[in-house]
Amino acid sequence: MRIGVFVCWCGSNIGGVVDVPRVAARAAHLPYVAHSVDYKYTCSEPGQNMIVDAIQKHNLDRVVVASCSPRLHETTFRKTIARAGLNPYLLEMVNIREQCSWVHSKEPDQATAKAIDLVRMAVAKAARLEPLSEGSITVTKKAMVIGGGIAGIQAALDIADAGHKVILVEREPTIGGKMVMLDKTFPTLDCSACISTPKMVAVAQHPNIELLTYAEVTEVSGYIGNFSVTVKQKARYVDHSRCTGCGTCWEKCPQKVSSEFNQHIGIRKAIYIPFPQAVPNKPCIDAANCRRLNGKKCGVCAKVCAAGAINYEQQDEYRQVKVGAIVMATGYDLFDWTQAYGEYGYGKIPNIITGLQFERLVNASGPTGGKITRPSDGKEPQNVVFIKCVGSRDEAKGKAYCSRACCMYTAKHAHQVLEKIPGSRVFVFYMDVRAPGKAYEEFYQRTVNEGARYIRGRVSKISRKGDKLLVKGADTLLGCQVEIEADLVVLATAMVPSRGSREIARTVGFTVDQDGFFQEAHPKLRPVETNTAGIFLAGVCQGPKDIPDTVAQASAAAVKVCALLYKQEIATNPMIAEVNESKCQGCLLCRDVCPFQAIETKTIPNNAHDQAKTQTVAHVNSGLCQGCGCCTSSCRSGAINLKGFSNEQIVSAIKACLCEDNFAELVRKVRKR
């Protein structure tokens, strides 16, 4: 056995703290080490070439690289040693940067001693490494996108345009999400519906896209390349194959319901399409509010439907589909300020609305036809107060994070008030103005120049004063109290993960962050992947963002899906658990602890001569196993080994850590005391 050790300086990242040449010199004396050097940037091309040359020149058969975290460069160095003809899994990495030099920057001597210990452990483990080979699994060439807002629409269109089949699942009766509710979009002021409805239509017409609206994902099993998804098609009580979308039913329906699409300003009917450009442009019956479905006499829609499309007996239907990749695009909801902001009246004072409600008010297709009026009396407001960061950047009340889009849409709202209501006055209470986007700062300045009064400070109280609202706050720049008599108050409430997002994350099988947003695999370098292979993220479900960022991320997720679907088969990670069936007792404790449902049962003969006698043992599904090692440590009989982290390898590393040198030193220290 001939082990090569390469100790990296990582410029001054490691070399500035750890005595790198000393580490390399000490490693040279370890058992089986045939070659040990240090190098400035081992991951650079000359650095990698040096490793290849050394393997050939010194006839090395194991390689230890002491540098950064394996999460960063393990794949890099595996490829390097493979170039020299070695099995890529005969590499052992030692993290002497994140777990040594960075955390012990003030204690260089101890950092060096720790680096030497870590390298000795890695060499001991490397001596017991076995070559591993990757398996392969076939890929189902179809993707699923969950959520039909702008993120889901963009991802589905991009994947479909690349030639792959896509199933787009949306739980509402129409796709379009929040974007299609908006009036105009910052900073260009182009009409939101004008730019999003063509995309909605494109989805419906695309030959590669199957659109499932009013449907929910209820179960997901399988693994990358081979997911099996159960979709519930909720009963619409309208047969869309017969319906012509003529609109008579919702005209005649006697049951009025508060409109979700119009943010509860305005009404819809119990049989409805959410808005005139909805896709699909055919209605469904809201079962909770339908008179007929609640046992009352009605049935008007069925009577007036010439096509005979109404079917009160329709049931929810479940179907199973197979897909190779899943894109999550479940979007957001607005923080419910009425539960948290008593100082703003808990939602009981009229004429305090959210930004999304303002969008519907100012929208030409909204309940007021685009006229900005007060919900309470329909009067045009003269003094409008905007309050930013309601629920955002305020841990005591809501969320610690910034919702990112509010500064800009509030600037847009302020502009729209000043533009549409001559003589109006606009006051914006803010903590900071965050306008970091292309043409964003300019847009904000334009609003200020148009006359919007920006007041830095928070509003402490809103109370009624006759039919007006008395807004009390602080101007922290002038150091004085401010009181404004407002006709309308608009709150920029925080974006929060959409309702049910934790449940869908659990169903699909990936993690969420502390705020409930979907956890990306790496915040910088893998922003659209999750830690579960084959599941990708697009839009606000991953964290608050505006439309341009959402669209960009959706396209990025689509590219990742395409890269996966273009492959006939994909290589599987060989560092997975393996059951020694002769030792397995079949207790299946491993199945309980496995976070990936990768442990299955298998029946084997327990007597070579009598095939009739059988026993149950654990079996690892190589497609699902992520190599976490939970099963290995839970196995009482030591029947499970994690390849690349076998018990023997780990124990030898521990023994090396507690080797005689250290032991002797320890004894000396104790004696000195």
Partner 1 sequence: MRYAYFPGCCDHTSGREYDISTRALCHALDVELVEIPGWSCCGSTPGHSTSHLLGIALAARNLALVAEMGLDCTASCAACYQRLAMANVEMQNDPRLCEKINWITGKTYHGGVKVKSIVEIIAELNPEQIISRLVKPLENLKIAVYYGCLMVRPKAVQVDDPENPLVMDHLLEAVGAKTVDWGSKTECCGASLAISNDDVVLKLTSKILADAARAGADCIATGCPLCHFNLDMRQKKINQVFGTDYQLPVFYFTQLIGLAIGLTPDNLSFNTHFIDTSKVLELVG
Integer Cα distance of 387 and 500 in angstroms: 28
Query: How deeply is 448 buried, as exposed, middle or buried, from its count of CB atoms within 10 A (0-12, 13-18, 19+)?
Result: middle
Please give the structure tokens belonging to residue 539: 């839009």
E strand map for 521-654: 535-537, 569-572, 577-579, 599-605, 614-620, 640-642
Taking the complex as a whole, the smallest distance from the CB of residue 356 to partner 1 amounts, in Å, to 24
One-letter identity of residue 146: I
Which of 303, 348, 420, 583 lies at the binding interface for partner 1 (CB under 8 A)? 348
Q: Which one of residues 470, 474, 552, 650 is an interface residue with partner 1 (CB under 8 A)? A: 470
In this structure, are strands 332-334 and 495-497 parallel, antiparallel, or unpaired? Answer: antiparallel
For the CB of residue 538, give the shortest distance to partner 1 in the complex, in Å: 38
Closest distance to partner 1 from the beta carbon of 493 (Å): 17
- C-beta atoms surrounding 585 within 10 Å: 14
Both tokens of 84, joined, read 């020299």
- Give the orientation angle of helix 647-657 with respect to helix 108-126, to 10 degrees: 140
Please select the residue that binds partner 1; options are 71, 296, 465, 655, rule is CB under 8 A: 465
* Nearest distance, CB of residue 474 and partner 1, angstroms: 15
- Nearest residue (CB) to partner 1, 252 versus 468: 468
Select 79 or 348, whichever has its Cβ closest to partner 1. Answer: 348
Q: How far is the CB of 482 from partner 1 (least distance, A)?
A: 15
Q: Which is nearer to partner 1, 71 or 348 (CB)?
A: 348
- The Cα–Cα gap between 9 and 66 comes to 9
Distance, in Å, from the CA atom of 577 to the CA atom of 625, rounded to the nearest integer, reads 7
Nearer to partner 1, 348 or 522 (CB): 348
Options 56-64, 243-251, 464-472, 663-671: segment touching partner 1 (CB under 8 A): 464-472
* Coil, helix or strand at residue 81: helix
Judged by CB under 8 A, which stretch of 16-24, 44-52, 412-420, 460-468 contacts partner 1? 460-468
Give me the least distance between CB of 471 and partner 1, in Å please: 11
* CA pair distance 217, 123, nearest whole angstrom: 48
* Residue 205 or 463 having the CB closest to partner 1: 463
- Packed helices 150-161 and 192-205: angle between N→C axes, nearest 10 degrees: 40
Pick from 526, 534, 494: nearest CA to 328: 534
Minimum CB–partner distance for residue 103 and partner 1 (Å): 33
Cα angle 192, 193, 194 (rounded to 5 degrees) comes to 90
Strands 165-169 and 226-233: unpaired
| Shorter beta-carbon distance to partner 1: residue 75 or 481 | 481
Of 327-346, binders to partner 1 (CB under 8 A) are: 341-343, 345-346
DSSP state of 171: S
CA dihedral (538, 541, 542, 545) in degrees, to 10, reads: 80
Select 234 or 472, whichever has its Cβ closest to partner 1.
Answer: 472
480 near partner 1 (CB under 8 A): no
Distance (Å, whole) CA 69 – CA 370: 56
Contacting partner 1 (CB under 8 A), which of 438, 466, 568, 660?
A: 466
380 touching partner 1, by CB under 8 A? no
Query: Of 136 and 463, which has the nearer Cβ to partner 1?
Result: 463
Please, what is the minimum distance in Å from the beta carbon of residue 343 to partner 1? 5
User: Considering the complex, what minimum distance in angstroms separates the CB of residue 473 from partner 1?
Assistant: 14
Q: For the CA atoms of the chain, what is the radius of gyration?
A: 31
Asked whether the beta carbons of 231 and 169 are under 8 A apart, the reply is yes
Instruction: Work out which of 2, 296, 464, 502 binds partner 1, going by CB under 8 A.
Output: 464
**Considering beta carbons, is residue 461 or 506 the nearer one to partner 1?**
461
Binding residues for partner 1, how many (CB under 8 A)?
13
Beta carbon nearer to partner 1, 481 or 607 = 481
Instruction: Return the number of the residue (393 or 397) whose C-beta is nearest partner 1.
Output: 397
Residue 342 and residue 248 in contact, taking contact as beta carbons nearer than 8 Å: no
Q: Which of 560, 614, 564, 616 is nearest to 590 (CA)?
A: 616
655 binds partner 1 (CB under 8 A): no
Cβ distance to partner 1 smaller for residue 218 or 338:
338
Residue 315 phi, psi (nearest 5): -120, 160
With residue 413 as reference, give the H or E element that holds it: helix 406-420
- Residue 513 engages partner 1 in binding (rule: CB under 8 A): no
Residue 482 found at the interface with partner 1 (CB under 8 A): no
Footprint of partner 1 on 23-82 (CB under 8 A): none
**Phi and psi of 575, rounded to 5°?**
-85, 70
Min dist. Cβ of residue 283 to partner 1 (A): 40
Distance of closest approach, residue 354 Cβ to partner 1, in angstroms? 19
Task: Please select the residue that binds partner 1; options are 58, 461, 502, 655, rule is CB under 8 A.
Answer: 461
Place of tokens 């290589």: 571
244 makes contact with partner 1 (CB under 8 A) = no
Least separation in angstroms between residue 90's CB and partner 1 is 58
For 650, other C-beta atoms within 10 Å of its C-beta total: 17
- Closest contact distance (angstroms) between CB of 466 and partner 1 is 7
Q: Which is nearer to partner 1, 79 or 464 (CB)?
A: 464
Q: In the complex, which residues of this chain contact partner 1 (CB under 8 A)?
A: 341-343, 345-346, 348, 461-466, 470
